């Protein structure tokens, strides 16, 4: 019998299923609201805009508002979605280097330029 070696591989089963489903629903809502290719945000949306969306939805959640008026999804689902989209943009720039830096934040550009397009692995300690 063959046993697959999973040492060192991500355990995606640790990511909450309901959270992933909520993010998918928010993305489906966003794709209807903003027609176009589903991943167009990667080159069109500045990271700061996504961070600000996180802050707006988190603030509404903290004020006791559970659901977004438009999507009828939880504000925290919008926070998770915007955060994941921002991470996608940043990681693609650092690891894949196949998108332009138009609209990227100065911090985002700084990380990219400091590494001169090299593939790098950053840790939290790199930002302390």
State phi, psi for 106 to the nearest 5 degrees.
-65, -35
Q: Does residue 39 have a pLDDT over 60?
A: yes
pLDDT at 42 (0 to 100): 82
Residue among 106, 110, 81, 83 at smallest CA distance from 94: 110
Query: Is there a domain that residue 106 lies in?
Result: yes
Query: Is there a domain that residue 2 lies in?
Result: no
Contact 22, 77 (CB under 8 A): yes
Q: Does residue 18 have a pLDDT over 60?
A: yes
Other CB atoms within 10 A of residue 68 CB: 19
CA–CA separation, 83 vs 79, rounded Å?
A: 6
pLDDT digits (tens, 9 = 90+) for 84-121: 999 988 887 765 554 444 445 455 555 545 444 444 44
Task: State both tokens at 10.
Answer: 């991500």
Q: Which of 20-29, 35-44, 69-78, 100-109 has the lowest mean pLDDT?
A: 100-109
Q: What percent of the chain has pLDDT over 90?
A: 44
- Return the DSSP state at 117: T
Task: Provide the residue range defining the domain that includes 51.
Answer: 16-26+41-127
Query: Is there a domain that residue 85 lies in?
Result: yes
pLDDT band at 126 (very low <50, low <70, confident <90, very high): very low
Residue among 84, 65, 85 at smallest CA distance from 16: 84
Q: Does residue 123 have a pLDDT over 50?
A: no
pLDDT at 118 (0 to 100): 43
pLDDT at 1 (0 to 100): 64
Domain count, the chain: 1
Query: Is there a domain that residue 8 lies in?
Result: no
Give CA separation, 105 vs 95, 101, 111, 120, in Å. 17, 9, 10, 19
Query: Is there a domain that residue 34 lies in?
Result: no
């Amino acid at each position: 019998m063959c046993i697959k070696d999973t040492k060192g591989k991500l355990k995606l089963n640790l990511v909450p299923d309901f959270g992933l489903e909520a993010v998918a629903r928010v993305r489906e809502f966003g794709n209807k609201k903003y027609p176009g290719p589903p991943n167009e945000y990667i080159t069109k949306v500045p990271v700061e805009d996504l961070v600000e969306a996180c802050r707006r939805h988190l603030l509404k959640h903290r004020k006791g508002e559970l659901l977004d008026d438009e999507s009828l999804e939880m504000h925290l689902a919008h926070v998770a979605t915007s955060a994941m989209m921002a991470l996608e943009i940043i990681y693609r720039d650092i690891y894949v280097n196949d998108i332009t830096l138009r609209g990227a934040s100065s911090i985002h550009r700084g990380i990219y330029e400091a590494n001169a397009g090299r593939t790098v692995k950053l840790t939290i300690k790199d930002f302390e």
